[in-house]
Amino acid sequence: MSALARDLAPLVLAGVLGTAGAGKLFGRGTARQAPRTALARLLRDGGRAALALRVLGAVELLLAAALLAGPVTPLPGGAVAGGVAAGAAAALLGAGFLGYLLYARAAAPDGTSCGCTARHDTPVTWRAFVRAAAVLVGGVAAALAQQPWWTAAGRRPAAALCLVLAAAAALTALSADPDRRWRMPLRRLRLRITGHPLAATGARTEAPLAATGARAAVPLAASVELLERSRAWQSVSRVVRSALLDHWDDGGWRILQFAGVYGGGGPAARPVLVLFAVDAGASLETVREPAVRVSVIDADSGAPVLATA
């Protein structure tokens, strides 16, 4: 099995380098991403970093092609010169990636994109290190391959297929943004199968309507929104100083309590409570002209104060 894995390494490695290289060379995001990568910090210029990423993409594509093409000249020992060169180059590339990642980690511990796949703005994580190490190991294995990958695959097609699929799955799991690729689709699927976990909140707001014919109480936020757009609010807004102090429902009314100052800023100023009563079932959705009751009472005595401010 290990011999098969070694002989198939060029194929898998070509797949990895081919995708990453094509992304860097042809991806529209490369120029946009480059200034945010650690490479830009290393080269001290975003434009140079973009160029370097594109060149690296081209090199990766060339390596992928060389790995796919396999041996050019069979050597007496059985090793294949073309494959050895491409494998060694890929191993060097993997070692270079590892070094670059270590630099990126040291230069910008949190946040800098590695630019590894030039697609998403992904920070340097353990996944990037594992990917680079995989390229290094794959390169060494490809250099040590004893026969072309198609010969090895032809001899044991089923095992080869399983091996390639497993490698592809592992590499996908290591891809830069697992959330975007599979965690969110899986969660969406679960919701589709098990139903929306918050569906009951929708039933709660609609049930009392049907059962009693009366309007169900709306969320407090809807009542406050209704109040703040009402003429009642306008008439006493200069008295109100606090945000919402307290609120409660009583007999279909929702009472909203604020604190305020009445009588200007001089010695005659008195602390007051400003009370609003709104329909507990009304919101801007259901009422165009809300009827709001307003009371201003003295905070110390509880005596009503005329709201003529």
Partner 1 sequence: MSAYRTGDPLDRRRFLTAAALHGATVVGATALGAVDADAAFAAPMRPLDPAVAESAFAEGRITAINDDVLAVAGSYGDHSRVRVTGATSVWKARATTAADIETGDGLYARGVPLPDGTLAADAVWVNIVNLHATIRGIEKTRLHLAHGRHEIVGNLMAETTSAAYGTASPTADLSGLTIGQSAQVLGAWRPSDGSVDLVRVAVAPGAGRRR
- Give residues 27-56 in contact with partner 1 (rule: CB under 8 A): none
SS3 at position 137 = helix
Selected range binding partner 1 among 58-66, 93-101, 161-169, 289-297, rule: CB under 8 A: 289-297
Selected range binding partner 1 among 18-26, 54-62, 160-168, 195-203, rule: CB under 8 A: 195-203
302 is an interface residue for partner 1 by CB under 8 A: yes
Instruction: Please say which residue, 45 or 121, places its beta carbon nearer to partner 1.
Output: 121
DSSP 113: B
Q: Which residues contact 26 (CB under 8 A, 6 or more apart)?
A: 57
- Dihedral Cα 50, 56, 61, 64, nearest 10 deg: -150
The gap between the terminal CA atoms of the chain, to the nearest Å, is: 89
108 is an interface residue for partner 1 by CB under 8 A: no
- Dihedral Cα 99, 105, 111, 117, nearest 10 deg: 20
Interacting positions 219-258 with partner 1 (CB under 8 A): 219-222, 224-226, 228-235, 237-238, 240-248, 250, 253, 255, 257-258
The number of residues that bind partner 1 (CB under 8 A) is 82
204 is an interface residue for partner 1 by CB under 8 A: yes
DSSP 34: G
The length of the chain is 309
214 is an interface residue for partner 1 by CB under 8 A: no
Q: How many CB atoms lie within 10 A of CB 30?
A: 21
259 is an interface residue for partner 1 by CB under 8 A: yes
106 is an interface residue for partner 1 by CB under 8 A: no
Q: How many CB atoms lie within 10 A of CB 62?
A: 14
Residue 100 Cβ, how far from partner 1 at the closest point, in Å? 21
109 is an interface residue for partner 1 by CB under 8 A: no
Instruction: Please say which residue, 143 or 261, places its beta carbon nearer to partner 1.
Output: 261
Q: Largest Cα–Cα distance in the chain?
A: 109
Token pair belonging to 79: 């090793």
State the Cα–Cα distance between residues 73 and 70, nearest whole angstrom: 10
User: 22, 59, 68, 309: which one contacts partner 1 (CB under 8 A)?
Assistant: 309
User: 141, 143, 276, 279: which one contacts partner 1 (CB under 8 A)?
Assistant: 276
68 is an interface residue for partner 1 by CB under 8 A: no
Instruction: Please say which residue, 140 or 244, places its beta carbon nearer to partner 1.
Output: 244
Q: Are 117 and 172 spatial neighbours (Cβ–Cβ below 8 Å)?
A: no
Interacting positions 143-182 with partner 1 (CB under 8 A): 179
Instruction: Please say which residue, 172 or 242, places its beta carbon nearer to partner 1.
Output: 242
295 is an interface residue for partner 1 by CB under 8 A: yes
Instruction: Please say which residue, 58 or 244, places its beta carbon nearer to partner 1.
Output: 244
267 is an interface residue for partner 1 by CB under 8 A: no
SS3 at position 87 = helix
User: 218, 279, 280, 281: which one contacts partner 1 (CB under 8 A)?
Assistant: 218
Q: Are 217 and 281 spatial neighbours (Cβ–Cβ below 8 Å)?
A: yes
198 is an interface residue for partner 1 by CB under 8 A: yes
292 is an interface residue for partner 1 by CB under 8 A: yes
Measured CA angle at 14 (ends 8, 18), to 5 deg: 160
State the Cα–Cα distance between residues 146 and 168, nearest whole angstrom: 22
97 is an interface residue for partner 1 by CB under 8 A: no
Residue 234 Cβ, how far from partner 1 at the closest point, in Å? 5
| Neighbouring-strand partners of residue 275 | 257, 295
